[in-house]
Structures are given as structure tokens and as C-alpha cells.
Amino acid sequence: MNARRRSHDRTETIMQTALDLALEVGYAKLSMEAVAARAGVGKDTIYRRWPSKALLFLDAVLSSRTQGLEHPDTGDIVADLRQVMTRACDLLGRPPWGPLYQDLIGEAQHNPEVAAALNERFIQPQAADTLARIKAAQEQGQLAPDFDLDLAFELLSGPLYFRLLITHEPLTPAYVDRVLQAVFAGMGPRPQP
Amino acid sequence: MNARRRSHDRTETIMQTALDLALEVGYAKLSMEAVAARAGVGKDTIYRRWPSKALLFLDAVLSSRTQGLEHPDTGDIVADLRQVMTRACDLLGRPPWGPLYQDLIGEAQHNPEVAAALNERFIQPQAADTLARIKAAQEQGQLAPDFDLDLAFELLSGPLYFRLLITHEPLTPAYVDRVLQAVFAGMGPRPQP
């Protein structure tokens, strides 16, 4: 095993240990000392890579289990959005990732560095992927030709995050269907054909 | 000044002091000791009413500046929603209330008692008020007759909270207009008249 591989493994071990401990004691009580002790490394080793507990936790949460949030293109925009939104609900709405992600968002409320990195590494790539997929759908006539595409990601994600962070109501496939149905149909009266 | 009035004034002073200190040092560094010292009361006095810093902060944030979130009924549902959403953006998106409210939501992510009280005291009354207003609008033919009314509050609030808590993009009257326009029109293609 060469030095780079050992360093990679150690990084993985430290991040996994941070997640394990956060699930056991809660993010608020997570300490760099405890991570170092359980991972079997010196505190200096951790601080060399992550200047704060918040940045270690950010890296650990975003490095784990976030695959599958890219839209397929089956030609059916509703089916493709449903697939990604359902996957997002599975991820956000359940242990272990859901509570860890909620803690990360909690931290982001008073830590601008964490907030910026969360957006850059996790939110913006999803927004760009959604925009690309719905642009193609609009060109194919599957969306209203004048719909404000730049708003679509916020309209579709907003209700899921509102449940996750505010009301704590369950994030289910049935909820995804309701959101899609409502956003596609619109709240205003439709012109009579 | 009778005893009840003195107690009321002291309660107000303690809550205002908690908000002032949270704005100065940040919620994370707020301490019951510092609140007691600046408010000129004993720590026991504070703990008798609020068993934790989080519950004092919750009370203080929700007792301040949250008026004006009830819908008028001018007969124009879009105008009425716009008025309340714009007021919510003024409140949520700016100091002093915005950062305090963000801290409260951050705390709610790992404190179920705060999360439950936030919903019960602040979110549910707004949701109920929105539902009553849009029910009336639907009966008057201003909304699609089959629109999922129970979802409307989450659809309209979700994007605002997503900006507030996740992307930190500005909450402006122009943004409110875009959200209303998109939610009313819907994302799907409209039938040709």
C-alpha cells in the first residue's frame, strides 16, 4: 500500500468516524478529540486537513451517499423528475443521511463558510442538472413555453425542504406526486377549451 | 405598578436582552449568564420561566415583530397572497428578525421541543390562515377547482424558505411575483383554447 493510498484510507476513516459519532451523540456534542481518539489518529492529523469540526462534518456528509440525484432522460419529464425527487426524499427524509444533513443545514445557518460550500458542492450541481433536463423538456413541448425555468428547481425542492426543516412531516413518494401534480397543473383557473 | 405588571415588564426585558445579545455575539455564544447580567436579574429568575436557552430564545423571537402575516380579503387572491408573502420576505430576509429566525430554525434541527413549538406557535397558524383565504378564493372561482389546497402553503412558502435557509439568495418583492406567477400558471403545457 503506497503513501497516497494510506492517506486516502485515513481520510475515509476519519470522515466515517465523524458521521458515526454524530449519529451517536448528536452533531452539537461531536468533538474533534473524540473523532481523533476513535479513528486512532492524532488531532493534528485531522486539523491539518479540516480547520474546524464544521468543515470536517461538511466534507463527511457530502462525501457519503449522495449519488443518484442526476436526472435521467427517458423522454418523460414528469417521470424523470419523480425519480430524482423520490431519491432525494429517500436520502433527506431518513436516517442515517437525513438527520446528518439536517445538522449540516443547522450549522450553515450561522457558519457562512459551511453555507457557501454546501451550495457550491451540493445544491448548485443539482440545480444545474435540473435546469438542463427541464430545458430539454420545454424544447420538446412538455412544459409551458413561457414557464420561468430558472425557478423550477426552487419550486420543486422548496416544499421538500420545508417539510424536512420546518414541519418535519414525512417525505414520501405520495408527497412527491402531489407536488409534481400541483406544480404542473398550476393553482390558477385554466381557460376553458 | 402592580406585581403582575412588574413581572410582565421583567419578562419583556429578559426576552429583548436575549435578542440584543444574540444579534451581538451570535446565538451559539449566547448564554443565560450574560442575559441575566445585562437584564439585571438573577439566573434563577430566568430559569424559573425558561428551562433552557433554546426555549428563552424561541419565546423571544416569536414574541417580536411577527404581526402582519394574516391574509386580508380584498377579493383578489393574488394581491392578497402577494401582500402577505412580501411581508414575510421583509421579516425573514432582513436584520434584525431574519438572522434571529435563521438561528431559531438552526436550533430546531436538533431540538425537537423547539421544532414542535415553532410549528405550533408560528407555522401552523399561518398555514391555517392561508388555507382559509384560498378556500374562499377557490369557491369564488379564482383558483382551479381541483387544486390541492392543502399543499398551497408549502408550495408558496417552500421556495422562500429554500432561499432563506439554503441558497441565501435575496428575498425580494420581485421574487415573490415570480413565485406567484409560476405557481398560478403551472409548469405543464396549457391546453389550446
Q: Which chain A residue lies closest to B114 (C-alpha atoms)?
A: A166
Residues of chain A with Cβ-Cβ distance to B152 below 8 Å are: 182, 187
Q: Which of residues 39-98 of B touch A (CB under 8 A)?
A: none
Closest Cα of chain B to A179: distance in Å?
8
Interval A94-112: pLDDT, tens: 999 999 999 999 999 889 9
Of the partner residues A141, A178, A184, the one whose CB lies closest to the CB of residue B151: A178
In this predicted complex, what is the ipTM?
Answer: 0.93
- For chain A, list the strands marked E by DSSP: none
Among chain A residues, the shortest Cα distance to B180 is held by A187
Q: Quick one: pLDDT at residue A33?
A: 97
Cβ-based contacts of B151 with chain A (< 8 Å): 159, 178-179, 182
Who among A118, A166, A184 is closest to B161 (CB)? A166
3-state helix, strand, coil in chain A (%, to 5): 70, 0, 30
Q: At what angle do helices A97-108 and A77-92 cross, to 10 degrees?
A: 80
In chain A, whose CA is at the least distance from the CA of B110?
A103
Report the pLDDT averaged over residues A13-30: 95
Read off the pLDDT of residues A53-101 as tens digits, 9 standing for 90 and up: 999 999 999 988 677 789 999 999 999 999 999 999 999 989 999 999 9
CB-based burial, A175-191: b 16+ in 10 Å, e otherwise:
bbebbbbbbbbbbbeee
DSSP string, B77-144: HHHHHHHHHHHHHHHHTSTTHHHHHHHHHHHHTT-HHHHHHHIIIIIHHHHHHHHHHHHHHHHTTSS-
Domains of chain A by range and CATH? 3-62 (1.10.10.60), 77-185 (1.10.357.10)
Alpha helices in A40-123 (DSSP H): 43-49, 53-62, 77-92, 97-108, 112-118
Q: Is the CB of B151 less than 8 angstroms away from the CB of A105?
A: no
What are the tens digits of pLDDT across the range B52-99? Answer: 999 999 999 999 867 778 999 999 999 999 999 999 999 998 989 999
Quote the CA–CA distance of A132 and A149 in Å, as a whole number: 10
Q: What is the pLDDT of residue B190?
A: 79
Question: pLDDT digit string (tens) for B149-170?
Answer: 999 999 999 999 999 999 999 9
Q: How confident is the model at residue B1 (pLDDT cuts 50, 70, 90)?
A: low
What is the identity of the amino acid at A191? P
Residue B103 pLDDT > 60: yes
Type of residue at A143: L
B184: nearest CB among A27, A108, A186:
A186
